[in-house]
Amino acid sequence: MRVLVTGAAGFIGSHILQAARDLGHEVRGYDSLTPAVHDGRPGYLPDDVELVVADVRDADAVRQALTGVDVVCHQAALVGLGVDLADLPAYADVNVTGTAVLLQEMGRAGVGRLVLASSMVVYGEGAYDCATHGRVRPAARARADLAAGRFEPRCPRCGQSLETATISEDAPLDPRNAYAASKLAQEHLAATWARLTDGQAVALRYHNVYGPRMPRDTPYSGVAAIFRSALENGVAPRVFEDGRQQRDFVHVTDVAAANLLAVGATGAGEAGLAGGLRAFNVASGHPHTVGEMAAELAKAFGGGLVPEVTGEFRLGDVRHIVASPAAAEHDLRFQAQTSFADGVREFARAELRAPARVPVSVG
């Protein structure tokens, strides 16, 4: 099978490209190699892999790159949160327009399968149960509560404490920043493309991905890379809130494996892919707290630096988001293979990508 990987020089895209080659697929990479991220072709891309250097919004370049392709793994994106009004045009342009151009050209070229990098951020907060009112969706946490150290969401109907529950793909979607809105827009565009072309689209909602080639020392790195960079610099990791925020940390090699399973998933049968879009959580199924990630990394560095729980917060951050991987396990036969302990131990010494000159990422 001939696979086009957009964002192929990036953290996740490069692992997908490698996994596809390992399975015997013919692979073509596509990446803008923007100076905001890369100082040229990264050394971890094999020399014999074709890499089209172009922007995903360039219809002519996309059209040529799609020649002979059977399936596209679309990873190219502007990443981060996008919390300011000034961020809105860039996220809409790169992520939404870029995906629209790609889908248009896929339709014209007759390429009928898409695997889309989506994200857990489309859910907003995770799932919660109230003892009185059952499943509820708490509103965004108020600045005054966070400043007072009241980090846990409360029932929006009665104000009681809530129990964290796993979130599944049929949960209401509630994107709360520019990046999240753009990822959901990508899903909607992919669904429209699938209906118009009778194509097959899979949106993989990545949870907290970590592993080799993560970008270091930027606000967009992800908490695991930020903690690791601090430890490398001889500084104790700073853990926001009380460190008890729950996340599902999933290793990048497992994410790449999920993509390849989606590439090979069979039509309308087991995954229900024909003529539509299916979304799947890509997660380990074993949540951990942010504080546990900091502590495990510190331990892997010899334990000399103890993470500092600061009580600081970022307005707009979610408290807990715990994924249900059941749908991906049933329909894609995906099950994460890397344990938290093994993954963190490897990540503590893994190669990270050098910091970008400009802290914005495309692909």
297 closest CA partner among 352, 230, 348, 349: 348
Pair of tokens at residue 51: 């890499």
In 3D space, the residue among 238, 239, 202, 228 whose CA is nearest the CA of residue 297 turns out to be 228
Q: Strand pairing of 26-31 and 50-53?
A: parallel
DSSP label of 49: S
User: Quick one: which of 338, 151, 162, 158 has its CA closest to 250?
Assistant: 338
Residues that are catalytic: 179
Evaluate whether 38 touches 9 at the Cβ level (below 8 Å). Answer: yes
What is the token pair recorded at 328? 């991906």
Nearest to 115 by CA among 301, 292, 278: 278
Residue 64 CA to residue 50 CA, distance in Å, equals 13
